Structure 1
Amino acid sequence: MTQRSILKQLQRVTLQSQGLSKTHSFGKGKQAVLAALEHLGYIQIDTLSIVERAHHHTFWTRIPDYQIGYLDQLAEERKVFEYWFHAASYLPIRDFRYALPQMLLFKRGEARYFNNVDPKSLSYVKDRIRLDGPQKARDFISTGKKPGSWWDWKPTKVALEKLFMQGDLMVSGRSGMEKIYDLTERVLPSTVNTTEPSPLEFAEYLVETHLRAYGATTVKQIIHLKTGKSLRKDVEFVLQTMLEAKKVQQVNIDGMPPIFVLQALLDNTIKKPSPNIRLLSPFDNSVIHRERVEQLFDFAFRLECYIPKEKRQYGYFCLPILFGDVFIGRVDCKAHRKEGQFELIHLHIENKHLEVASWLEPFVQAVERFAVFNRCHSIKLTQVSPSALANELKQAFDR
């Protein structure tokens, strides 16, 4: 096989593993949400609400009948929990024990953060929750006149986060985006395995999670934002063991690190994804590893909301546009919920090889669906690049 054909196969392996090749990869309804989360390993939580928040957006992309309430219900049923993967995330409760190494790192004071928290604040917050029940951060705002005392907002907020990160507290629910904290023993089901995994078990978990979710991965992607030379060695050992057992195959492409691919996926013919448009969240699992997307799909993507306006190239909150197995561009958009209007502030079409007619109708349908998901009933197209496409696109939305 040529390197180009290998690359195309890796693209399809990735999209199929991510649940982006067909419409109902994980089924329908609430059970599909749990199935998707258990398959992908995590879904990143983000508070930005320019469009529907990232965790809901990511599920909706894969589950057409997704409803925001499904995730809340699964949290109440204790089938999912919140913790840290590479960022704040929802994870399946079955994987709770693999969060323990990081929790214990915080408990021992070996993490980079929360090492100088006042023990009085920790005791106060934990005792308050034990006696008064679940609490939000705002419940600890002092009504006294002496800000800065150890029970004031800042110390207790820090104490809440440390107790959460070290596993003494869990998020028992949310009020909007506000987290509600409770003692772990009152949240975590008694049937959940709480045995700390060995370093090798943790490495196996990371390798298996990445291979299941992406089909193909690299050592760098597996240990993304994880620290320690020993972890890298353990990950390399697990991959070598899988190579010897012919569970994975190593693929080499010029300019890329060694890629490890599930053998079962290579043995089967991966069909071309359906020619649908998917408007992806900037925090979607499929694009969160920016280097992976650029290497596999030749699509350089950066979220520009965190950089100064004058330095932005595409816009504040761009969504990657995936058509089948090709990224055709990105769109900076915003849901004006009070007005019920979904605005495409600037649509950037970057793929010059595909005829507009091939993706135009699916794109319009995808935007219309996404507008409804964002509780908007009208669509406004403000700017298009290249400008030569503007009239054709505006006419398509006016039909």
Structure 2
Amino acid sequence: MVSFSMIDATKLRSIAMAQQGLHKNAAFGRGRTGVLQMISQLGYLQLDSISVVVRAHRHILRTRVPGADLRHLGRLLADREIYEYRFPVAAYHPMSEFRFASHHMAWRWEMNQRQFRVRREDRAMMTRVLDRIREEGPLRSRDFEAGTHKSGGWWHWKPAKRALEMLYYQGDLMVSARDGMEKSFDLTERVVPADIDTSTPDMEEYVRYLIHSVMRAHGFASYRTLTFPARGVPVRKAMLSELARQVSEGELVQFVDKTGEKLWGMPDLVEGRLPRVTEKVRILSPFDNLVTERERLSNVFGFDYQIECFVPEAKRKYGYFCLPVMMGKSFMARMDCRSHRDESRFEIKALYLEPEFATRRAFASVVNDFARAIREYGVFDGCKDVIVMETAPEFARGMLRSQLKSAP
């Protein structure tokens, strides 16, 4: 076993950022090809409906594929090169890896069967929804509102919407297209291309996939990170057995972090040269693949972060939707923001600097780049003007406001 002292946090940060495509500009390329390469490398691109600032999938795209937009995602979805599913979160995934969602779909099916004992009326509704989509083609949830069906008004929107979601989660339906956040559903066999393998992998192959996909995205991982995508699927025994095999055969190396937690990593990364990370400001989404594993973020980057939009307002420490901000390999701040697009105004409600950047001297060394990054992000979100309300420390407000006035 390699000790953590031989693999310091600086190297782990570099590995994580390089695997995530955050170490340099356009690491995955550009355009449609770059978007597909990004999703394939990261394993998934999370979708989220929160729009106080630009939505998560657009934000994550921007940080890795310059110039990419929703048209590229729409084209990839239409061409069946990606698919949408909640595995482990609502996200786009590579269509080539579709079969590995089948264990999660089976778990969802079992969950639905248990619900039927309470909601037996759902079974009939699910059959009706399937029959209608089979007959009419792709439909949206609002197509099941009363009066939208030619044969009468027996549809009740909420039960129909619930049936749609159940059928989607258990794999009978898939998202065939999107218009913003509105989904169209079609039969799975009409969405998945004929040349895609849809067989269910056995548990050994499934855990090998989990290990491969997580290592591809992060370079190293804890047991918790490795099993996160399998949420709901019992993989512990097979996972531990496969990890032991891969370590014994040299496919992975094992070490511990500063807390004593076991980590597994790719030998060529853990034992190789340190990847170079460009020194620039990066404003990340709270749902960015780099930051969603909160304990990993704390252990490796020393950044104690939690998105607080799901926390009652009275218990929030920083704000509703704080964006993590990096400089190089370090987290420099978090800022609670809101885009007032109708007024073309990007509001920084509160900015909190991390200790490393919380002196006048340290902040002065990055404030110019930070102001430029904020300006660019605001324009990306449809806002020309930027206002700064509160900062901690307080001196940062005046320094940032001054630089924002002169930032191009």
Q: What's the TM-score bracket when you normalise by the shorter of the two chains?
A: over 0.9
Residue deviations 1:300-333, cap 9 Å, x none?
Answer: 1111112222221111110001111101110111
Residue deviations 1:170-200, cap 9 Å, x none?
Answer: 1011122111111112211111110100011
1:273 alignment partner, SS class: coil
2:195 is matched by which residue type in structure 1? T
* Matching residue of 2:395: 388
1:383 alignment partner, SS class: strand
Note if 1:333 corresponds to 2:337.
yes
Q: How does 1:252-291 map to 2 (within 5 A)?
A: 252-291=256-295
Quick check: 2:357–2:363 contact (8 Å CA) kept in 1? no
* Matching residue of 2:43: 41
Q: How does 1:55-70 map to 2 (within 5 A)?
A: 55-70=57-72
- Alpha-carbon distance, 1:256 to partner: 3.5
Q: Within 1, Cα distance between the matches of 2:368 and 2:60?
A: 22
Residue deviations 1:326-363, cap 9 Å, x none?
Answer: 01110111111111111111111123357123321221
Residue deviations 1:179-233, cap 9 Å, x none?
Answer: 1111112211111110100011110111111111000101111112635785112
* Matching residue of 2:386: 379
* Matching residue of 1:24: 26
* Matching residue of 2:223: 219
1:52 is matched by which residue type in structure 2? V
1:296 alignment partner, SS class: helix
1:260 alignment partner, SS class: strand
1:156 alignment partner, SS class: helix
Q: Within 2, Cα distance between the matches of 1:20 and 1:229?
A: 31
Q: How many residues align?
A: 395
* Matching residue of 1:103: 105
Q: Within 1, Cα distance between the matches of 2:10 and 2:113?
A: 40
Change in 2 beyond 3 A, CA 1:111/1:125: closer
Change in 2 beyond 3 A, CA 1:230/1:181: closer
Per the normalisation by structure 2, the TM-score is: 0.92
Q: Within 1, Cα distance between the matches of 2:229 and 2:98?
A: 19
- Alpha-carbon distance, 1:288 to partner: 0.5
* Matching residue of 1:170: 174
* Matching residue of 2:192: 188
2:85 alignment partner, SS class: strand
1:240 is matched by which residue type in structure 2? A
* Matching residue of 2:373: 366
Residue deviations 1:90-114, cap 9 Å, x none?
Answer: 1110110001112223334577767
Correspondent of 2:363 among 356, 360, 365? 356
Quick check: 2:43–2:94 contact (8 Å CA) kept in 1? yes
Note if 1:398 corresponds to 2:405.
yes
Change in 2 beyond 3 A, CA 1:140/1:282: same
CA RMSD of aligned residues (A): 2.1
Q: Within 2, Cα distance between the matches of 1:24 and 1:303?
A: 27
Structure 2: runs of 5 or more not aligned: none
1:120 is matched by which residue type in structure 2? A
Correspondent of 1:207 among 184, 208, 211? 211
Q: Within 2, Cα distance between the matches of 1:112 and 1:361?
A: 57
- Alpha-carbon distance, 1:151 to partner: 3.0
Bigger shift: 222-231 or 365-374?
222-231
Q: Within 2, Cα distance between the matches of 1:373 and 1:336?
A: 13
Note if 1:345 corresponds to 2:349.
yes
Change in 2 beyond 3 A, CA 1:379/1:230: closer
Change in 2 beyond 3 A, CA 1:112/1:123: closer
2:127 alignment partner, SS class: helix
2:14 alignment partner, SS class: helix
Change in 2 beyond 3 A, CA 1:235/1:307: same
Bigger shift: 289-298 or 237-246?
237-246
Q: Within 1, Cα distance between the matches of 2:62 and 2:377?
A: 9
1:343 alignment partner, SS class: strand
1:382 alignment partner, SS class: strand
- Alpha-carbon distance, 1:386 to partner: 0.5
Percent identity (aligned): 35
Quick check: 1:249–1:263 contact (8 Å CA) kept in 2? yes
Quick check: 1:120–1:150 contact (8 Å CA) kept in 2? no
Residue deviations 1:66-115, cap 9 Å, x none?
Answer: 22211111111111111122211111101100011122233345777677
1:171 alignment partner, SS class: strand
1:306 is matched by which residue type in structure 2? F
